[in-house]
Amino acid sequence: MSEKKQFRAIKGTRDILPPDSALWNWFERQARDTFEAYSFRDIRTPIFEDTDLFARSVGTDTDIVSKEMYTFAASSEVGSEGDQMSLRPEGTASVCRAYIEHGMHTLPGNVKLYYGGPMFRRERPQRGRYRQFYQMGAEVLGPSDAPGIDAEVIEMLVVLFRRVGLEKTTLYLNSIGCKECRPKYVELLRGELRGVKEQFGADSQRRIETNPLRVLDSKLPEEQPIIEKLPRISDHLCDDCRAHFGKLKDELALRNIAYEENWRLVRGLDYYTRTTFEVTAAGLGSQNAVCGGGRYDGLVELLGGPPTKGIGFAIGTDRAILSIQESGKLPHLPGLAVFVAWMGLKAYPAAVAMARKLRDCGLIVELPAEEMKFKKSLGLADKLGAKYALIIGDDEVASGTYTLKRLADANQQKLAEPELLEYLESERRGA
Ligand code: HAM
């Protein structure tokens, strides 16, 4: 006799159940509506791609690529013999790959795309950090790197966060230079870091050689005073990068967008140039970044495409939802409006027809498939949280008037079909 195995969701993954799923759908809808108002359009890319795509764009020395990707061998039958594939850890690389593959550089103006869906990183799971998590992201690709684009992308984010009621958000902003000035700064930084190497822990010591900028990301309290004394990128930007950053700040001022400059905001992906930003929100503890983004001029070229500028961001949907839930200020989402309580053989066809009409009016309607005594029906309607019970018995069918009971206060009214539909529809619009 084999023992029955209890299956559970795999560590770092989770089920999103009702009623939370309604909040998720609402949030994603708000994001789509906001992005579309800024003339971004949806792009859907595969969930797995060639591992090299991520290695080349995100960077082989980053945590994401070096230890967090879910990688598997591609089957030789599908024609990519010997190649490795990975579940996507983020969306920007795929969007750039699709931009090149479909020749989108020939489209007029800048190409503005948004996406939503699951991403995968083998991180240590904790509150707000999952191995399958969700992002809503947006990217602008094309010939222009005007700071007004950066500012508009940030404005879109601020507008969305306000719309969904995310609280106590802070926008952190930095410029990490370009391929002219950053390598010089990185060498300067590495030199300084080597001088104080002994004062750092093992992780930072390793990063001094592999990726010194990442040392600035350290959260270890004992490393903070040393980091504070290091040279800052803002003092080492080339003239073009300094001008670009200055103009971006003017553009943000024009839009009344508050931000804090943070010279240590270097981000964990290698493709960034110039503008980087992050947004934190309340109620999230240590994993408090709800959004990260920045400019990645040159990434498309690095992936074999034409010279292209790019900027974008991704919101961590799991964290945005957590923060909204923590605030306790949840949106009012439509629930079950009408429970059709029917009894009697003649009542059933009328109940089926009425349920369909009400649903056509946009109402959420529950119709029991089996006959129940009115008392039991009303009890179930109550438990399901229905706003109204529509009572249909043989008498109602004979008279053509129906009893509509508001469950909160047991108020009852008798209405003929046209009045009933009109009343419930106006209720719905007012709700
Ligand atoms: P990222 O900063 O790696 O950037 O991720 C963006 C957001 O995704 C984070 O701020 C966080 O809210 C969420 N996130 C990341 N990892 C996890 C996780 N393990 N669990 C839950 N949430 C997580 C990017 O992915 C870039 N592609 C953003 C971008 C787009 N830059 C330019 N364009």
Q: Is 130 in the pocket of ligand 1 (CB under 6 A)?
A: yes
From the CB of 318, is ligand 1 less than 6 Å away? yes
131 CA: nearest ligand 1 atom: 19
Q: What does the pLDDT read at residue 77?
A: 56
Instruction: Decide: 290 in ligand 1 pocket, CB within 6 A.
Output: yes
pLDDT at 30: 98
Span from the CA of 296 to the centroid of ligand 1 (angstroms): 15
Q: Specify the pLDDT at position 1.
A: 55
CA of 90 to the centre of ligand 1 (A): 7
pTM, whole model, 2 decimals? Answer: 0.94
* 272 close to ligand 1 (CB < 6 Angstrom): no
Alpha helices by DSSP H, 274-404 = 299-302, 317-327, 347-360, 374-383, 394-399
Ligand 1 site, residue 123, Cβ cutoff 6 A: yes
Residue 290 CA, closest ligand 1 atom number: 12
Q: What is the pLDDT of residue 61?
A: 84
**Cβ–Cβ under 8 Å, residues 420 and 374:** no
Q: What distance in angstroms lies between residue 163's CA and the mean position of ligand 1's atoms?
A: 21
Q: Is 89 in the pocket of ligand 1 (CB under 6 A)?
A: no
Give the number of the atom of ligand 1 that is nearest the alpha carbon of residue 279.
10
Q: How many CB atoms lie within 10 A of CB 95?
A: 24
Closest ligand 1 atom to residue 121 Cα is 19
Provide the token pair at 71: 């990688």
Amino acid residing at 258:
A
Signed CA dihedral, 243, 278, 178, 225: sign only: positive
Using the mean position of ligand 1's atoms as its centre, give its distance from the Cα of residue 253 in Å.
Answer: 26
Residue carrying structure tokens 């093992």: 202
Q: Which residue from 237, 228, 156 is spatially nearest to 199, judged by alpha carbons?
A: 228
Centre of ligand 1 from the C-alpha of residue 157, in Å: 14
Torsion sign across C-alpha atoms 395, 397, 398, 401: positive
- The pLDDT assigned to 76 comes to 54
**Per-residue pLDDT at 131:** 98
pLDDT at res. 79: 53
140's enclosing H/E stretch is strand 132-142
Q: Ligand 1 center to residue 267 CA distance, Å?
A: 10
- 118 near 47, Cβ under 8 Å? yes
**Residue 276 alpha carbon to ligand 1 centre in Å:** 13
- pLDDT score for 3: 79
129 close to ligand 1 (CB < 6 Angstrom): yes
Can you tell me whether residue 369 is helix, strand or coil? coil
Query: Mind giving me the DSSP string for 239-262?
Result: HHHHHHHHHHHHHHHHTT---EE-
Pocket test for ligand 1, best of 119, 271, 317 (most atoms within 8 A of CB): 119
Taken in order 15, 21, 24, 29, the sign of the CA dihedral is positive
pLDDT value for 258: 97
Task: List C-alpha distances in Å: 139 to 96, 244, 309.
Answer: 9, 19, 10
β-pairing verdict for 111-120 and 260-261: unpaired
**Does the beta carbon of 223 sit less than 6 angstroms from any atom of ligand 1?**
no
The two structure tokens encoding residue 272: 């960034």
Residues whose CB is less than 8 angstroms from the CB of residue 274 and which lie 6 or more positions away in sequence, other chains included: 145, 175, 176, 177, 178, 241, 244, 245, 294, 295, 297
Which residues, 6 or more positions from 167, have their beta carbon under 8 angstroms from its beta carbon?
A: 281, 282, 283, 323, 327, 329
Q: What is the distance in A from the centroid of ligand 1 to the CA of 302? A: 21
Residue 210 is predicted with a pLDDT of 87
Query: Is residue 396 within 6 Å of ligand 1 at its C-beta?
Result: no
279 Cα: distance to centroid of ligand 1 (angstroms): 11
Report strand pairing: 48-50 vs 84-87: antiparallel
**CA-nearest residue, atom 16 of ligand 1:** 129
Q: Quickly tell me which residue has 């073009």 as its tokens.
A: 240
The label of the residue with tokens 């909160």 reads 408
Residue 346 CB–ligand 1 contact under 6 Å: no
Placement of tokens 């591609």 in the chain = 74
d(Cα 328, Cα 44) in Å, to the nearest integer? 32
Helix (H) or strand (E) holding 273: strand 273-280
Q: How far apart are the first and last CA of the chain?
A: 56
Run means of pLDDT, 10 residues per run, the chain, 431 residues? 86 97 98 98 98 96 93 71 87 98 97 98 97 98 98 98 94 96 95 94 92 90 95 96 98 98 92 97 92 98 97 98 95 96 95 97 97 96 98 94 96 96 92 63
Ligand 1 mean position to 87 CA, how many Å?
15
Q: How far apart are CA 113 and CA 130, in angstroms?
A: 25
What does the block give as tokens for 15? 């089920």
Q: Which residue has the least CA distance to atom 1 on ligand 1?
A: 292
Token pair, residue 357, equals 């009409």
Tell me the Cα Rg of the chain.
28
